[in-house]
Structure 1
Amino acid sequence: MTIHPPLLKKLALSVVLVVLPLSAAQALEANAVADRLKALLAGQGMDVSWTKVTETGPRIVLEGASLKLANEPATSLIGDVTLDEISEVNGGYRIGKVTLPTYALAQSGLNIDISGAQLTGLSLPPEGSTDPLASIMLYETAELGTVSVRRADKQLFSMNDLHVQITAPKDGAPLAFSGAAEKFSADLMSAVEDTEARKVVEALGYNTVNGTFEMAGTWQPVDGRMGLTQYDITIENAGRLGLTFDLAGYTPDFIKAMQEMQKKMAQQPAGADNSAQGLAMLGLMQQLTFNAATIRFDDDSLTGKVLEYVARQQGAKPEDIATQTKAVVPFLMAQLNNADLTKNVSEAVNAYLDDPKSIEIAAAPASPVPFALLAAGAMTAPQELPKTLGVTVTANQVAE
């Protein structure tokens, strides 16, 4: 199960590179735990290895730990990893605390430096377990002190104090998760390579942006109901972009099938035809059902800056650009042949441009919509999708 962005998944999972017994005398158990760990991580597309295990009192140190991610040719050296408070639980294992040193990953031409990585309450279910979460390595908390992403000698992105909390499902209640990053910073002038795009970034005054991140949600393994109730990215002096969604069918079996499909695709040689796997992946997606989703933007001066930029380019005033935009929207919406939605969108855009506070697009169908129906509609009658999904747009509404 993935409950946070792709980078977060890889960083958090890389913390669990070590599970070994409390005593060197327990060699048989050590091998069993290590084999179980490798099997679980392999299912997540991660190949781990180590060179030596040492014991100092209640602490185990895995020396020379390394990690190789699927689709990446390079193996990354993690270094010495420590663990504490190992116990056997229902044939599996629980690791009270796993701590990593400062280390680096190389991926897709980027260098990712990580420090302060730690997991608590990591569970390794036994092989053959009937628990629906057996293929998922759950933890209670995850922390990353700092993350830095560089390309050559340019730092593109940094993040501080990322933390995630997970409450396992119990007595019919769903799994609950939440997380936040106290600060991130992105150098857009270094990250953006297109010359024209760089000019826009500079004109808007966003050479470097700073912000925060928050997320929260629930997941019910029994029926695969996944609800992302918060996914907010806030950028200082720009605004906050928020996403939510509610879908069903994201079951442990679905997750396992997706992992197997990704593993097969990763094993294909470079340049191989993955069309068959791609079609199979689309087939898996048909098991999902769409319930609702929202995209919301709360303005903090970005809208005004964009209007001023476009006005300078055209030798006009910002209010003239706003008026032109209001006039164009009805013509663009007319292509959908949906008078009610056209009126709704036009009114919302007009209200937002007159007083930029917030604008939200919501999709709330009268009944759940299978992804198969959405895919078919997108190919045969895309103009009908807004009706199928129950799309509405509102402006300057207070967030619930």
Structure 2
Amino acid sequence: MTMHKSAQRLMSSLLFASAAIAILPHSAFALDGQDLLKKINAAYASSGVVINASGVDVNGDTVVLKDANFTPEDSKDKTPVPVGNVTMTGVAAMDDGSYEIDRVDFQPINVTSEKSTITASDLYLSGVTVPGKTGTNDLSSMLFYEKAHSGPIAIKADGKDVVSISEIEATSAIEDDGASLSFDAAVNGVKLDLSSVEDPNSKETIDALGLSNLDGKMTMKGSWELHSGTVDVEEYALDFKNIGKLNISFSLSGYTMDLMKQIQEAAAASKANSADPQAQQAAGIATLGLLQQMSFLGADIRFEDAGLTARALEYSGKKQGVSAKDMGQMIKAMTPLLLAQAKLGALQNSVSAAVNAYIDNPKSFTVTAEPENPVPFPMIIGAAMGAPETLPKVLGVSVTSND
């Protein structure tokens, strides 16, 4: 009877313990902080930088890299760049050896060198995935984040703000099929003070064009499809008040995970043998070989004027001793002569017409490349080197204004 009761008590204890373990949160199990740091470095290896820390503290689902620094490994200058403590919260180890991290917070930056100071705050990543393995050719082998953020950034020289940014935010997302990645970024509140430029000629030009104090933003949006290696950058724009907006979009194919790794390896080998001319030549040839895998699909370059053109005509005319209107007429007259030397064929007329319309009423100027079929990069390089006048036809170039 006693043995039977003892067995019952033992069984009850085991069942209770099993139930307690089953309902404990994942973070109740100790995380391996050193393994996490090792896998972060493995995923980050292609950048040529190693992350070191004086210690790795683990407390529940929080991991802190103590006194961390970034050390360049493939550069002559291997001086570590200190970043202080890096705090990772909501860390979870997955069954496949990867890690998911809710948020990574960096300490504010305040670096002074001679007469310059750089400050940045509110630096963090969120929705971070650290791969368990890096050898596969899919997105699961990449260090991935859903959002990267920086608050105010300022660069000062002699105590005066030279460059400041109010906020940077970049987001990315892996599509449900796991075969493509979308991304976008915005750099807001960009201010550049060029009033302290000392060179007289440069200062004169900057003042005349109204470039002493620039205020604007930068934006980017695009996607990457892994199987075909299609990179589609829908927008890469610089937009500054009283200047204008320059937007570049382009699309290319063949930039697969495998090609990306080959290019990274070639770049690393080139850096490692930077003092050897023959090695550099071999690296250049190897890079051209890799580019054979890529094709150009299209591009669009568009400038929307916000006052810069009028000031440029005024300044150029003053230099020539004529009015802005006369300067515009001179440019319109010179354009066909310059284009004739380039041997652009039928494109010459459309370019001249676009320039004339833009000079008369500067609103927008657009250069578009839409080839009928994808153009391999080696064909573009060959045409540029051997017969540059054929490039417009090869790439399907057209030029318009004020559309």
Q: By the TM > 0.5 criterion, same fold? A: yes
- Pairwise TM-score range, normalised by the shorter structure: 0.7 to 0.9
Instruction: Say which is worse superposed, 41-50 or 217-226, in terms of deviation.
Output: 41-50
Unaligned runs of 5+ in 1: 1-20
Structure-2 separation of matches of 1:50 and 1:24: 23
1:62 counterpart (57, 60, 65) = 65
1:32 positional shift: 2.4
Rg (Cα) greater in structure? 2
Structure 1 residues 344-363: aligned runs within 5 Å = 344-363=350-369
Q: Normalising by structure 2, what TM-score?
A: 0.85
3-state secondary structure, aligned to 1:80: strand
- 1:137 equivalent in alignment to 2:143: yes
Instruction: Report if aligned partners of 1:65, 1:80 keep a CA contact under 8 Å in 2.
Output: yes
2:183 counterpart (169, 177, 186) = 177
| 2:369 alignment partner AA | A
Instruction: Report if aligned partners of 2:33, 2:58 keep a CA contact under 8 Å in 1.
Output: no
- Matched residue, 2:320: 314
Structure-1 separation of matches of 2:292 and 2:163: 35
1:116 positional shift: 1.4
1:200 counterpart (202, 205, 210) = 205
Instruction: Report if aligned partners of 1:358, 1:396 keep a CA contact under 8 Å in 2.
Output: yes
Instruction: Report if aligned partners of 2:137, 2:258 keep a CA contact under 8 Å in 1.
Output: no
Unaligned runs of 5+ in 2: 1-25
1:325 positional shift: 0.5
1:261 positional shift: 1.8
3-state secondary structure, aligned to 1:237: coil
- 1:369 equivalent in alignment to 2:372: no
- 1:248 equivalent in alignment to 2:248: no
Q: Deviations over 1:293-319 (max 9, x none)?
A: 011100000000000111111121101
Structure 1 residues 258-297: aligned runs within 5 Å = 258-268=263-273, 271-273=275-277, 274-297=280-303
- 1:210 equivalent in alignment to 2:188: no
Instruction: Report if aligned partners of 2:179, 2:227 keep a CA contact under 8 Å in 1.
Output: no
Q: Deviations over 1:93-143 (max 9, x none)?
A: 111110101125799x98653321111111112225535124421111111
1:113 counterpart (119, 122, 133) = 119
Structure 1 residues 93-104: aligned runs within 5 Å = 93-103=99-109
Go from structure 1 to structure 2 and tell me whether the alpha carbon gap of 1:197 and 1:275 turns closer, same or farther (over 3 Å shift): farther
Q: Normalising by structure 1, what TM-score?
A: 0.86
Instruction: Say which is worse superposed, 126-135 or 298-307, in terms of deviation.
Output: 126-135
Instruction: Report if aligned partners of 1:80, 1:101 keep a CA contact under 8 Å in 2.
Output: yes
3-state secondary structure, aligned to 2:133: coil
Structure-1 separation of matches of 2:133 and 2:336: 59
- 1:303 equivalent in alignment to 2:309: yes
| 1:268 alignment partner AA | N
- Matched residue, 2:338: 332
Q: How many pairs does the alignment contain?
A: 372
| 2:99 alignment partner AA | Y
3-state secondary structure, aligned to 2:148: strand
- Matched residue, 1:229: 234
3-state secondary structure, aligned to 1:326: helix
3-state secondary structure, aligned to 2:259: helix
Instruction: Report if aligned partners of 2:288, 2:378 keep a CA contact under 8 Å in 1.
Output: no
Instruction: Report if aligned partners of 1:352, 1:359 keep a CA contact under 8 Å in 2.
Output: yes
1:75 positional shift: 1.5
3-state secondary structure, aligned to 1:334: helix
Structure-1 separation of matches of 2:131 and 2:305: 45
Q: Deviations over 1:275-299 (max 9, x none)?
A: 3223322322222100000111000
Instruction: Say which is worse superposed, 122-131 or 290-299, in terms of deviation.
Output: 122-131
Structure-1 separation of matches of 2:368 and 2:90: 46
Instruction: Report if aligned partners of 1:77, 1:104 keep a CA contact under 8 Å in 2.
Output: no
Go from structure 1 to structure 2 and tell me whether the alpha carbon gap of 1:265 and 1:101 turns closer, same or farther (over 3 Å shift): same
- Matched residue, 1:35: 38
